[in-house]
Amino acid sequence: MALPKTILWQIQDDKPGHQNQLRGLASALAELLPLEVHTLRAPSRRSCLAALWSKKFPLGNGLPAPDLILGAGHSTHLAVLAARRACGGQAVVLMKPSLPPALFDLCLIPEHDRAVASEKVIATRGVLNVVRPTQQHDPRAGLLLIGGPSGAHDWSDERMLEQIVTIVASTRSIQWRLTDSRRTPSSFLKRVLQERLENLEVTPHQETTPDWVPRQLAGAAQVWVSEDSVSMVYEALTSGAAVGVLEVPSKRRGRVAAGIDLLIENGWATRFAPWKPGSQLAPPPAQLDEARRCAEIVARRLLLRAAA
């Protein structure tokens, strides 16, 4: 007997990283359940408070009632609760909410946020993403993912360039691809291109499509990621590639940096300093697929609720 469609409302803000997390979980859910997805943009805080008071959620007018409401980003939390109050369904948020977790049916929170585990709080290794694990990695293909200065990190073109030249020049049997990000200083790619490294292809982020990084991760056996780009570290690990961490000057050592340190201590990734030039990166100790694991938890709860 075919399962009825699960109606999913995903409420999002304008941040690509949050949208990426929602797509990752929705995609994994679609592998487990017949899914009908409706995407809504989070309304203003005032509109959410009015919706909570009135038990009406105008954004949902004309849509089928949700079985599941997902939100990612602080501006979506009130909207998720308002939608559930007006229309029913289970309210699930990704990352640590700005409101008490007990208000939601489930919170999927990265372990570096140190949330107290409970029936309503599941710790995840990193943030969820759209990358799928694969066993088809080409040992002759490598990928370099470069970020830039952030709230927690400074930047040094010279230090980053030194690491990249060492990696690429000492592994001439590997064809490397490199891309930067919106945070990367414009001077950096110019410096890389001036090195004229024969086994390095450079693709500026402006020339990539949304699926460029996932496609490259599906093929590359070795991936180096600058440590400021935490989400891409977890994307690389999810792909099943061996992962190295490029060192970036730090402003402060917060909980996110501590999470990277823990990954390295537990053998999930290798920091540049102890790596021996020319050597292969160590593969991860196990397959990481947090989107699938979380989707199984959500699907199980949906089915139990339907049975009840």
- 138-271: CATH class: alpha beta
Angle between helices 290-307 and 16-30 (to 10 degrees): 60
- Mean pLDDT, range 89-117, rounded to an integer: 92
Tell me the pLDDT band of 4, cut-offs 50, 70 and 90: confident
- Mean pLDDT, range 29-58, rounded to an integer: 95
Per-residue confidence (pLDDT) for residue 3, from 0 to 100: 66
Instruction: Provide the token pair at 150.
Output: 């952030």
- List, in sequence order, every beta strand (DSSP E) within the chain: 6-12, 35-41, 68-72, 90-94, 106-110, 121-124, 138-145, 175-179, 200-202, 220-226, 242-246, 270-271
pTM recorded for the entire structure: 0.90
Per-residue confidence (pLDDT) for residue 2, from 0 to 100: 56
- Give the chain's mean pLDDT: 93
> Hey, do 6-129+290-307 and 138-271 end up sharing a CATH topology, with the first three levels equal?
yes
Per-residue confidence (pLDDT) for residue 108, from 0 to 100: 97
Domain 6-129+290-307 has CATH 2.40.160.20: no
User: Each residue of 276-304: pLDDT tens digit?
Assistant: 999 999 999 999 999 999 999 999 998 88
pLDDT above 50 for 56: yes
Residues 90, 302: contact at Cβ < 8 Å?
A: yes
pLDDT above 50 for 1: no
List phi, psi (to 5°) of 256. -70, -45
Instruction: Provide the token pair at 204.
Output: 């500026």
Tell me the pLDDT band of 33, cut-offs 50, 70 and 90: very high
Instruction: Provide the token pair at 154.
Output: 């400074």
Q: Where in the chain are the domains?
A: 6-129+290-307, 138-271
Task: Decide which of 259 and 36 is more confident.
Answer: 36
Counting residues of the chain whose pLDDT is more than 90, the rounded percentage is: 82
- 19 contact partners, CB below 8 Å, separation of at least 6: 12, 13, 72
User: Each residue of 209-246: pLDDT tens digit?
Assistant: 989 999 999 999 999 999 999 899 999 999 999 999 99
Nearest to 93 by CA among 27, 9, 32: 9
Q: One-letter amino acid identity for 39?
A: T
Return the number of other C-beta atoms located less than 10 Å from residue 92's C-beta: 27
